[in-house]
Homo-oligomer: A and B are copies of this chain.
Amino acid sequence: MKKICVIITTRGNYAKMKTVIRGILENPDLELQLILGGSVILEKYGRILNTLEEDVKIDRVIHFVIEGENPVTMAKSAGIAVSEFSTAFENLKPDVVIVIADRYECLAIAMAASYMNIPIAHVEGGEVSGSIDESIRHAITKLSHLHFPATKDAARRIEHMGENPQSIFKVGATSFDVLAEENLEDLSPVLAYQKSSGVGAMIDLVPGKYIVVIQHPVTTEYTENLAHINETVAAIQMLQIPTVWIWPNMDAGSDGISKGIRLFREHANPDYVHFFKSLPIELFAPLLKNAACIAGNSSSGIREASFLGTPCVNIGTRQKGRERGKNLVDVVYDRNKIAEAIKQQVEHGPYEADYCYGDGKAGEKIVDVLSTFSFSLQKQITF
């Protein structure tokens, strides 16, 4: 049995790995090793441990995040992650480690695995974006032995960087698998969840009559994050549309973003906004599907929203260079422009679905490849 080690460090990762985990569990040739770590186990970012534990056995829980949320603690947390994951790998002896996308700890995990001669399968490599994420993503590609890009463009870039074409499988975005499976019309579970979770006003969720805001910190704009979030806050204050605001991921700089959101909530105390720390993907999917618009800089505006046809206002540099569907409008950090763009997107209404980021079968394809692919530790650039 091939032991496949899946590592979940954010709620987003879990959404991306859900069908992969299920596929591994169902495949008689594969054995799942599940490690949780980082924000996924921290209450303040919305604990999904409970959700997970119902489904599957968790092999390890790894703590590696040093408090402080600045560039030094990000680096130190990465260092601890290298060390802690190497202990886990030593004990679990996986045959393959799956590394997802481009967060700072993912490069740390890839480093630990590659130094320990364990093959790496990288999901969602090859994409282009602004900020340090892009450098991390490509560095992981150069350490990986098997690649599962989401799009044609991403696959092309991975090959162009010198990876063996036989090791590259364009599978689409895994996060769409759940979107494709679920009935996304019913908003009542989200309404119910509002009562027991998050803070702020209880808002009415009528399809096409509310918006969603998610704005993450931008690492390379560390000192400006507070100023940037304040522009978005001001725009939302101008519009006063019912709004579901989802808290950012932890990262160097989330202090600035968090502070801006917290001040907004405490001082303006807006009666048209509900704040969630996080939403399980089962609730987020119908919320996004039925939103009049998603604003901010989350990748879900670019990716999931294009698949669902939800209008998106993408703010600032974080998603620079990523492929965009027709559902998206870009704006700079300017309260007036943000407000204006949201207004126009709300008026436009839903777009047609765009499959450039995936068709909802990615997990299945990944598990197929994992069960048959024969890994070679020796890699060499192709040119």
Contacts and interface: CB of A to CB of B under 8 A. Distances in A.
A68 B90 CA distance: 14
A346 interface: no
Interface stretch (A13-21, A104-112, A277-285, A306-314): A104-112
A114 B135 contact: yes
Interface in A57-91: 60, 63-68, 71-76, 78-84, 86-87, 89-91
Contact of A128 (B71, B78, B320, B381): B381
Of residues A43, A82, A160, A199, which shows the largest number of chain B Cβ atoms within 10 Å of its Cβ?
Answer: A82
A71 B117 contact: yes
Nearest to A43: B255
B71 A115 contact: yes
A5 to B, nearest CB: 14
B132 A381 contact: no
A142 B138 contact: yes
A162 B138 contact: yes
Contact of A76 (B71, B86, B117): B86
Contact of A67 (B66, B259, B380, B381): B66
A189 interface: no
A139 interface: yes
A167 interface: no
A379 interface: yes
Interface in A179-231: 199, 219-220, 222
A62 to B, nearest CB: 9
A165 to B, nearest CB: 15
Interface in A140-173: 140-143, 157, 160-162
B67 A42 contact: yes
Given A160-B160, A321-B380, A76 B104 contact: no
A134 interface: yes
Given A63-B72, A67-B65, A116-B71, A83 B79 contact: yes
A54 interface: no
B130 A378 contact: yes
B78 A111 contact: yes
Contacts of A237: none
B68 A75 contact: no
A75 B380 contact: no
A89 B72 CA distance: 9
A377 interface: yes
Given A72-B116, A135-B142, A138-B161, 4 more contacts: A79-B86, A117-B132, A138-B142, A220-B377
Closest 5 CB pairs of A and B: A79-B82, A79-B83, A75-B86, A138-B142, A75-B115
Interface of A: 41-43, 60, 63-68, 71-76, 78-84, 86-87, 89-91, 104, 107-108, 111-112, 114-117, 128, 130-132, 134-136, 138-143, 157, 160-162, 199, 219-220, 222, 252, 255, 259, 266, 320-321, 377-381, 383
26 contacts: A41-B68, A63-B73, A63-B76, A75-B82, A75-B116, A76-B83, A78-B82, A78-B111, A78-B112, A79-B79, A79-B80, A91-B91, A107-B139, A111-B111, A114-B136, A115-B132, A117-B222, A130-B380, A134-B379, A134-B381, A135-B142, A135-B143, A139-B142, A160-B383, A161-B162, A199-B266
